[in-house]
Structure 1
């Protein structure tokens, strides 16, 4: 998320009454033979037996402050798919969707074009509050999240779910990390308990260097049920003209070498100077593909922040100069042959030590248990999503009242017989990253990046795009 995050505070103080519909098993989406679901092997994504690199853009025309759903309108979706194909994209990221809407036509059109979706499951009204996460982690919030997951896990071209976006954006907000991790665990548990496809679940971190490495370690430590399937972060440190070393990207590769999960850029494309997207050639070279699995360019449409690739005016879409620059960069950059030197074994790492004020989480801290009223959703399904008409969740619902037993699978306060094992194709253990033969060796040197000014808001994952 770039630049400004605005508070939506006053409108979200009332409780949201969840509207439940038919059990989740009744919600179906037609399988598309035109696309192969993406799986995790070691620290990489795979499309069948072929390494998969994300070549994508962040797609939220209108910005999420208007709570628009860019894949809820089939006509505009199909219009923009032509641009995606022309750019050579295989993935889009969407920050907010109306989980009460029908997305079949757009998702099927994307699948037929060979394009995958990375989806943020939160909206500005249904998200964690970074300043006070405990009350916002409640059953009303989880019902909304699970209803979104339930709909989109049924599409073969849903590549991944983001359990949070930039919830932690400085040292003090790192206290929210256990709640981000709990939501990640709960989504994975929901997929397993509802016998849905094991869509990879992870987190999108802010463009800050004070605790990005610790957050990555934290999302890949502990028992298999607690660990993420991948980690992503926003990175605007390569500002053309630059290079692999000048930008500090060489140091990031060094610091993340041995990391056991797939890693990719959830936003990139510094616009301090004229954008030529010179970083594309580095990102898809073997200098980086042993650690990185590609990334998503910020952003498709111009929303006033000068990051747009196209200008949308009514039904007309006009290419901007950055569109041509990105297309040229993609056209001349091929993916590496073979497997890109990925880490085949994957594996967990130790939890990072508390390092106040930058990282204010103790390695021994247990995660919060799933709020008791939300446990029924794991068994019976989330039902119908309330969509954009909902009143919000941050001050609604029942909170967690205990800590979870690590390894219990369900995230409940006591051990459960139902496992949330989330083995993905090619993995050899019950976690998404297989094997513990090669744990992540941590370099405590800070990652060298240019710190972009982030404006803290009251709400953690509330996303307002410029």
Structure 2
């Protein structure tokens, strides 16, 4: 045996994954030596029976005598060693009790560290009662558990440490552990899978082990127990858990000084005769893990690559080792100028070379060439876990989903800069919409059925660097397709090596968000961000709440965001620009200078708070990493918001019709004429085509969600709206439009400016003149942009008519001179 290590969501035995196939054992009535275990002969026979079951780990609740560890070694079994202490008492209120707990941890590790290869992990606690956690506070309890872990590590640095939590205290921060353990008793398969999927997400980069589950055969019967444990065991490994431990090996159980006879959770009876569940669990334990798919559809892995010579080789090497029986790999070289194509050809994968047109076009080329039923996507700078494709496809097939996506993690940081980049804000990630559903796929780690891709129309070519995955996610959701979370599908995604590269990435993401705004201008600030995540500042300022339940008795107590959309406002480009303007105006008015300086100071403080609150791995949590992280927290969101707002406010539409130099046309009508309007040329078809044509021309277009009085609406900053409605006639469909001002935000901005000028000491007349001059400037910009809207609409209509084989007639109504 070799010592296990925890790495990349899984436990490893050397280079191979180690799946815990476990049973709990004891406690028992004291034997002739006073030990809370059976006599050595009985234990040896039990271990032989465990090996017949296919188990490889025994979970213990009290430290074992040395002879018992030696017997386990002979049987080829490892141990997960529990260290008992009074979990049910308010231990943090008693310094003496805390000292005794520390002594218990210290003594247990000292006494057994000689058997390090046999000890899977030390469990430093088990189910601290939720009312105790609520009383002490989760931070205090987590801090104490972290102290116990550190104490054990000081004695045996190579040992793994875990803690067995349960749903009623799910909100405990256990990120300092080597892996997370949970005791979960759920008897409905849908609930069981959903909750374990949720826990996999909550565990982050740490492996998750189901450390207890089972069923009482006295009340439920042996057949029901066998059925339950069979699907539970299979489900746990299908989802990507690193271990499954059955409570218990035998019905014999002694606790609290008494023999327990009214519960029977064992796989064997008290005389060790196997129950039906013994063979049911043994069948799964003896199979390859994760369990094989009953039907494995052909899959295509698409790698879109542009100048990716430095990373593509490692990516393809990981794909070549995938644990999946039927797949092909396609590399789409998006106009690279380096040796990307040569590397792909050397790897003997199918390579498609296209002109450089961006990420969405490259992915569409891969989809078109794919022969698989499922198309999986991975970035050229990412490496797939061996079971990556298995978990994506398994999730899609089991959930009957259109798509699935999993997490991506950074490689182990080798420097302070790398650690900071791995924890930087705004990195690509899947966005969850529930325990096992997603709101957004992440393009570096996703799989989509080819049928769903064709149904949704593929990736939108307007997204050249980022945003295509988010846009597709929203379109699939609009088609009421399921986007499923596959937490076991892990990729290791390289982070940017330098600050300049990171800022270029954030600029690209901001541009993608600006383009998303053009297609979905009505989505709120919480909805329109790419790879949106919880604000670290918001969480620090109380942006999360724990659900305790009535009188603290909630069975599933978790953390919910209370929402704090303004927490990151000081890190936006708009905030910093306004602060700088006020700072410059400080030369005219001291009050404005103070406001500007305060704004800049708040930005610096917000970045520092965010950097300080981000959890970091122990070897890389020093001042150098925090300083690097402070810099990226200050610059990254600013660059990203600038790129986003630049696209949102830019108005440079391309049209094939000359703009009018005459009066502004405020309304008009376009009639699509045909001798017979076929069903495919109905209002919805024309409106959909019209929306796409207008967006391609660089205009933000809102589509009604059923609550608006329009069908489409052009949103033109700073304060112009142009609603469009479709009217069906006998042999035609007419689109009527009008231009209208939308001064709401302008009025708010004018009022704020007016009040700031007054507060700064300017006279009433000066404040009024300043606001009027600003309003005139904005009005002139709005009129200039409004003048171009009719040409844009007509150009879009001409494109739609040409594509559908219709003729059009236009008519302008009101004119303003």
TM class by shorter chain equals: 0.5 to 0.7
Q: CA RMSD in A?
A: 3.9
Measure, in 1, the Cα distance between the counterparts of 2:79 and 2:201. Answer: 27
Measure, in 2, the Cα distance between the counterparts of 1:183 and 1:77. Answer: 34
Does 1:89 pair with 2:50? no
Aligned CA distance change for structure 1 residues 53 and 45 (closer, same or farther; 3 Å): same
Q: What is the aligned partner in structure 2 of residue 223 from structure 1?
A: none
Q: What is the aligned partner in structure 2 of residue 230 from structure 1?
A: 179
C-alpha contact 2:212 2:245 (8 A) present in aligned 1: yes
Q: Say which is worse superposed, 169-178 or 246-255, in terms of deviation.
A: 169-178
Deviations 1:150-199 (A, max 9, x none): 122321110111111111335864636445434433333334433x2421
Number of aligned residues: 306
Aligned CA distance change for structure 1 residues 311 and 429 (closer, same or farther; 3 Å): farther
Q: What is the aligned partner in structure 1 of residue 14 from structure 2?
A: 48
**CA shift for structure 1 position 306:** 1.8
C-alpha contact 2:26 2:37 (8 A) present in aligned 1: no
Note the 1:433-452 alignment, pairs <5 A.
none
User: Of 109, 114, 118, which residue of structure 1 is paired with 2:71?
Assistant: 109
Aligned CA distance change for structure 1 residues 95 and 174 (closer, same or farther; 3 Å): farther
User: Of 160, 164, 167, which residue of structure 2 is paired with 1:204?
Assistant: 164
Specify every segment of 5 or more residues in structure 2 that has no aligned partner in the other structure, as ranges: 253-260, 292-322, 324-384, 389-406, 412-421, 424-533, 561-615, 623-628, 630-817
**CA shift for structure 1 position 354:** 4.4
Please state which structure has a larger fraction of its residues in strand. 2
Pair member with larger Rg: 2
Deviations 1:201-239 (A, max 9, x none): 121112x3x541x12xx111xxxxxx12221111111x3
**CA shift for structure 1 position 262:** 1.3
Q: What is the aligned partner in structure 2 of residue 300 from structure 1?
A: 249
Deviations 1:422-442 (A, max 9, x none): 98xxxx8589xxxxx9xxxxx
**CA shift for structure 1 position 46:** 0.7
SS in 1 for 2:11: strand
C-alpha contact 2:268 2:274 (8 A) present in aligned 1: yes
Please state which structure has a larger fraction of its residues in helix. 2
C-alpha contact 1:159 1:200 (8 A) present in aligned 2: yes
Measure, in 2, the Cα distance between the counterparts of 1:40 and 1:78. Answer: 29
Does 1:263 pair with 2:208? yes
Measure, in 2, the Cα distance between the counterparts of 1:137 and 1:178. Answer: 19
User: Of 268, 286, 293, which residue of structure 2 is paired with 1:331?
Assistant: 286
SS in 1 for 2:102: helix
Deviations 1:75-127 (A, max 9, x none): 332111101100000111001136xxx41x321332233311111111xxx33
C-alpha contact 2:24 2:245 (8 A) present in aligned 1: yes
**CA shift for structure 1 position 270:** 3.4
Q: What is the aligned partner in structure 1 of residue 127 from structure 2?
A: 166
Measure, in 1, the Cα distance between the counterparts of 2:24 and 2:165. Answer: 15
SS in 1 for 2:130: coil
**CA shift for structure 1 position 253:** 0.9
Q: What is the aligned partner in structure 1 of residue 103 from structure 2?
A: 143
Aligned CA distance change for structure 1 residues 255 and 118 (closer, same or farther; 3 Å): closer
Does 1:121 pair with 2:83? yes
Aligned CA distance change for structure 1 residues 94 and 251 (closer, same or farther; 3 Å): closer
Q: What is the aligned partner in structure 1 of residue 233 from structure 2?
A: 280
TM-score normalised according to structure 1 size:
0.56
Does 1:355 pair with 2:546? yes
C-alpha contact 1:204 1:231 (8 A) present in aligned 2: yes
Measure, in 2, the Cα distance between the counterparts of 1:158 and 1:266. Answer: 15
C-alpha contact 2:91 2:97 (8 A) present in aligned 1: no
Q: What is the aligned partner in structure 1 of residue 269 from structure 2?
A: 311
Q: What is the aligned partner in structure 1 of residue 142 from structure 2?
A: 181
Measure, in 2, the Cα distance between the counterparts of 1:147 and 1:173. Answer: 29
Deviations 1:426-466 (A, max 9, x none): xx8589xxxxx9xxxxxxxxxxxxxxxxxxxxxxxxxxxxx
SS in 1 for 2:273: strand
Aligned CA distance change for structure 1 residues 184 and 131 (closer, same or farther; 3 Å): closer
Q: Say which is worse superposed, 337-346 or 275-284, in terms of deviation.
A: 337-346
Deviations 1:284-310 (A, max 9, x none): 22xx11xx2121001011043121112
Measure, in 1, the Cα distance between the counterparts of 2:559 and 2:184. Answer: 26
**CA shift for structure 1 position 63:** 6.5
Note the 1:23-38 alignment, pairs <5 A.
35-38=1-4
**CA shift for structure 1 position 44:** 1.4
Measure, in 1, the Cα distance between the counterparts of 2:197 and 2:233. Answer: 15
C-alpha contact 1:39 1:47 (8 A) present in aligned 2: yes
Aligned CA distance change for structure 1 residues 140 and 312 (closer, same or farther; 3 Å): same
C-alpha contact 2:29 2:36 (8 A) present in aligned 1: no
Bigger relative contact order, structure 1 or 2 (CA pairs below 8 A, ≥6 apart):
1
TM-score normalised according to structure 2 size:
0.34
SS in 1 for 2:52: helix
SS in 2 for 1:149: helix
**CA shift for structure 1 position 345:** 4.1
Aligned CA distance change for structure 1 residues 146 and 171 (closer, same or farther; 3 Å): closer
Q: What is the aligned partner in structure 2 of residue 367 from structure 1?
A: none
SS in 1 for 2:107: helix
C-alpha contact 2:25 2:249 (8 A) present in aligned 1: yes
C-alpha contact 2:133 2:141 (8 A) present in aligned 1: no
SS in 2 for 1:257: helix
Q: What is the aligned partner in structure 1 of residue 296 from structure 2?
A: none
Q: What is the aligned partner in structure 2 of residue 80 from structure 1?
A: 46
Specify every segment of 5 or more residues in structure 1 that has no aligned partner in the other structure, as ranges: 1-34, 221-226, 364-420, 432-436, 438-466
Aligned CA distance change for structure 1 residues 251 and 326 (closer, same or farther; 3 Å): closer
C-alpha contact 1:92 1:116 (8 A) present in aligned 2: yes
